[in-house]
Structure 1
């Protein structure tokens, strides 16, 4: 359901502003309306960025130690306590992280240098002795490996010496030596073979000596890196202290950035409070000061308050589906109770296999228990958990168990698709009628009685009447209902128009909407299509597996085909049913009554990303935050 909210106007002396905001945050009952933005950078922002960076760093090593999956619960006093040891821990982790980054950079640089020198390992002289001297000229460089033989012959023809060295991605490393007077001819040979001359920077050591030194440096760097990583791994045990610091900083930043209008002697704020939390708001203010002005009123006609949804454990997960479309307007009916029922019915019909439903519910149950996801991920998984039971029920009705048909069953999509199509369209009609009933309820709640009768119940009469026409025992009653509904629309469809012509055209135009209703109902034929696709793929996988059964190896291969095939069918079935079920609700169902356009109620509260729960245990009161 949608909980009503009240408008709040509050003024206190400046001396109590920060304390009041912290207490309001502790209670978590007031959503502030932006009146003024507070500019400037906050010191907590920089500290938060450093904390998040350090958390990401230590989480790289958490997989190597046993994680603590227990619920992270702290007392409010501990949450708000400023502990300098957490900042000291942050500095130590940052220093360790900086050391690791430097060592990794040093190792990378050494590896790159090693790779550069590796082709020249066999060069017997120091690079400083290469080049021109009194009697000879020596060079090193790369040539194409495929030209080695011809290159050697060409150098021999001009009385030059050739030393083959190592290989690299640049080509074959070589050293060329010639007499000073033969250098011009040698250069022509080098040019013809596209010789790439190289200069080595370390002039006073042979490449082999340089490589040996690099080996020692890399081994030392790696040893230091292992030691630094071991120290950092020890900090993973203190990760929760950093998580607490991060949530503390986020909470503090929200208070510092609260949109409060500050005047010379007083602070003024406006906001929204849930109707059932008004007394808690008064208590939160009175605990801070007895000098204040508090006004609580109904929202003005031109104001749109936030939407507060409050549903039970079963319906609440389905709120995430509504939020994908749009939050409801606070003045309309919450669609989630009806949506939760119909979403499961249609999803189960589309999947339609009891075995698949069992796997869905079991897999999501285990994932929720082991991984303990939060937020929308947890809510979506709970929807699939419930959808698994709906799939089991419809699978039993179809007699389908992992693609095998078991009698008795009520309906079998593969052998009786026409009957399945009729059931699908009937479900579609009932789904749309539910939307019309919700709209009629909204009209009656807002005292729009004629709208409920002429615009909603008239169409319900037509749709019910059309459905009854297909049942021989009720076709006469159905005809009467359909004609009565059509007459109501024809006579009242243009009632809001002032001219006679407008009333006539409005009535005819309203009746023409029957084409829209019929096309919407036909959209539910996708239920038949998806139930057939799931059944056919399951049947084919069983057929393929059965073709290989007969020997030990055949049974093993058949089991592999069976498992992989049905896992594929389950995954594709879930994706298809999820998307098409959403489509039927967003287009066909919501189109009949839903306005949307609401925005979420987000009160000033503790910002918990890592902590699961903050307990308020002091005698002053407040609410537990999760």
Structure 2
């Protein structure tokens, strides 16, 4: 779907109707007025409510209290802010008191006032010092130093002398409160902090009330902000303001103006004016829109990539995780979160929908790839019945058995027992050996790996081609490059002396594929250059650099294979480590290993799954740099 265009309108009307006009516009929520202001901080009342809400959200969730007539929002905000500020100060005071107690405690409970009085009566100076034990071993103690205690890695001393003493490497300690005074102050601070926390906990029962109050303040602020942006005409009797309206919402404009002395007229968009981007998505498209805004906002002339990004991300994430068992865990968590957060809405609800789709995608691809918690499965295993990789590996084995080609010769040289086997499934099942006490199906694994790599490249070719196709009206040469991509897929196996899926699936013979591929490859380049010259004149020659760019972008999709294969290998490795250690210790090793693998997989699946959309795919059909359409609309509490 194309991003919906917007029109620029000028509104002119009598000053008496301006307030009602903006109230109606806010209620309908489809006009973005040009305020010509930069980013402005919210006024103090709104800032205070935001601060209070931030403090209350840190409190444990409690059942919301019933509202009473005497409940005052300003008073609630004030008490919450005061309690929050005092709590922070008291927490800092407690931290300092604990640090001071740890300094004084090794010296015992004494009164600093009595020490000073004793100094006056005796005419001597009483001082306290500390030094690290490691440093003390290298020092020669003077006779005036009296040991008084030891704590952790510190030793403590005191001196009673006629002069003020100082010792190199030692720290002099000064105290203004006794240990008992510090402990009393600490207890008092804890009691005060408990009171602040109790106040915040009680106020948390009114968090919904504060949200409604904040919404009211924000709506009033936005109305005032837009109204202040109007210009006065005819000695203040008229007002004027400009705004953007989506093309598919124009039908609601004149009913909005009905009964008002206000005229709306479409005006020309000025050169260099930044047009907002209006996107309208529902269901999974809206989830994809959330993903799109992580990276950039489409330009007004872009096509909306939301749905494309959503489904491509689900596929890429599943291929990187590459485990149906992990997918089941994800789905269980997704269903649990849906049950726990039944009332969640907005972006939170869309996130749960995304998580559910990703979970199902992981299960489907995991089953198609025959991967379940990294368990090594025999080609004949019933769990491999629905595995596409298993099916393709059998077809590949059948092809090489029939051809008796170089691949067949290499495999049978390593596994002589395979000579004479005519069925692909038997060929894969018998190409095995025992490594470190575990059965490994070497031929089957090698065939599956090569097929997985080819699938990753095919996914990249299709994904990039779709991007070129979406952009072909503005970039005619893209049509030629699509032929070039698939021509290269058919032709380059000849250069690499490789057997691809189209060969062992008997879709096309190697010889015919080489001939057709070469024609499509060079013909596509010629077509792309001709189309570029027709569209861009001499600037079209820059298209000659495009093959390198396409080649690099398609190779980037090998990360799907590399990360997916790494996840499978790690899962298998943790399983083997655990089995060697026995049930008790092995269980925890396997659990910890799979937990790490899942965490790494989620990070890799998210980062690289989005990267292939935002970098490689966007590169051929997306300009970006847009500014999101932000209409004046009435907010509702979340």
Q: How far apart, CA to CA, are the structure 2 residues paired with 1:237 and 1:564?
A: 39
Q: Equivalent residue for 1:399?
A: 370
Q: 1:57 aligns with which of 55, 58, 65?
A: 55
Q: How far apart, CA to CA, are the structure 1 residues paired with 2:16 and 2:471?
A: 50
Q: How far apart, CA to CA, are the structure 1 residues paired with 2:9 and 2:571?
A: 59
Inter-CA distance 84–38: structure 2 relative to 1 (3 Å threshold):
farther
Contact 2:274-2:627 at 8 Å conserved across structures: no
The 5-angstrom pairing of residues 97-496 of structure 1 reads 97=84, 119=107, 121-122=109-110, 126-127=114-115, 129-133=117-121, 136-143=122-129, 154=143, 172=156, 174=158, 176=160, 183=162, 187=163, 219=187, 222-258=190-226, 260-263=229-232, 264-286=236-258, 290-296=260-266, 303-371=273-341, 379=350, 382-404=353-375, 405=377, 406-408=383-385, 409-411=387-389, 414-416=445-447, 417-440=449-472, 442-443=473-474, 452=476, 455-469=477-491, 471=502, 472-473=508-509, 475=513, 476-489=515-528, 491-495=530-534
Q: How far apart, CA to CA, are the structure 2 residues paired with 1:411 and 1:37?
A: 56
Q: How far apart, CA to CA, are the structure 2 residues paired with 1:88 and 1:21?
A: 30
The 5-angstrom pairing of residues 31-46 of structure 1 reads 31-35=32-36, 45-46=43-44
Inter-CA distance 368–4: structure 2 relative to 1 (3 Å threshold):
farther
Query: What secondary structure does 2:299 align onto?
Result: coil
Inter-CA distance 295–109: structure 2 relative to 1 (3 Å threshold):
same
**Are 1:533 and 2:573 matched, yes or no?**
no
Q: Equivalent residue for 1:618?
A: none
Contact 2:7-2:244 at 8 Å conserved across structures: yes
Inter-CA distance 587–216: structure 2 relative to 1 (3 Å threshold):
closer
| Cα-to-partner distance string for 1:26-49 (whole Å, 9 max, x where unaligned) | 22111112346799x9xx721222
Deviation at 1:352, TM superposition (A): 1.9
Query: What secondary structure does 1:141 align onto?
Result: strand
Inter-CA distance 602–368: structure 2 relative to 1 (3 Å threshold):
farther
Inter-CA distance 556–297: structure 2 relative to 1 (3 Å threshold):
farther
Q: Equivalent residue for 1:26?
A: 27
Q: How far apart, CA to CA, are the structure 2 residues paired with 1:561 and 1:105?
A: 41
Q: Say how many residue pairs are matched.
A: 547
Q: How far apart, CA to CA, are the structure 1 residues paired with 2:371 and 2:9?
A: 57
Inter-CA distance 352–164: structure 2 relative to 1 (3 Å threshold):
closer
Q: 1:522 aligns with which of 555, 563, 569?
A: 555
Q: How far apart, CA to CA, are the structure 2 residues paired with 1:382 and 1:113?
A: 52
Contact 1:36-1:261 at 8 Å conserved across structures: no
Deviation at 1:129, TM superposition (A): 3.4
Inter-CA distance 277–105: structure 2 relative to 1 (3 Å threshold):
same
Deviates more, 1:411-420 or 1:138-147: 138-147
Q: How far apart, CA to CA, are the structure 2 residues paired with 1:15 and 1:494?
A: 59
Inter-CA distance 211–430: structure 2 relative to 1 (3 Å threshold):
closer
Q: How far apart, CA to CA, are the structure 2 residues paired with 1:497 and 1:126?
A: 94
Higher relative contact order (CA 8 A, sep 6+): 1
TM-score, with normalisation over the residues of structure 1? Answer: 0.74
| Cα-to-partner distance string for 1:592-615 (whole Å, 9 max, x where unaligned) | 22222322111112345xx22xxx
Deviation at 1:362, TM superposition (A): 2.8
Task: Work out which of the two has the higher radius of gyration on C-alpha atoms and give 1 or 2.
Answer: 1
Deviation at 1:363, TM superposition (A): 2.3
Contact 1:151-1:193 at 8 Å conserved across structures: no
Inter-CA distance 403–246: structure 2 relative to 1 (3 Å threshold):
same
Inter-CA distance 493–560: structure 2 relative to 1 (3 Å threshold):
same
| Cα-to-partner distance string for 1:533-568 (whole Å, 9 max, x where unaligned) | 1111111112112212xxxxx323222222221222
Q: How far apart, CA to CA, are the structure 2 residues paired with 1:538 and 1:370?
A: 30
TM-score, with normalisation over the residues of structure 2? Answer: 0.73
Q: How far apart, CA to CA, are the structure 2 residues paired with 1:535 and 1:114?
A: 54
Deviation at 1:403, TM superposition (A): 0.9
Deviation at 1:105, TM superposition (A): 7.4
When the two chains are superposed, the root-mean-square deviation of aligned CA atoms in Å is 4.2
Query: What secondary structure does 1:328 align onto?
Result: coil
**Are 1:571 and 2:610 matched, yes or no?**
no
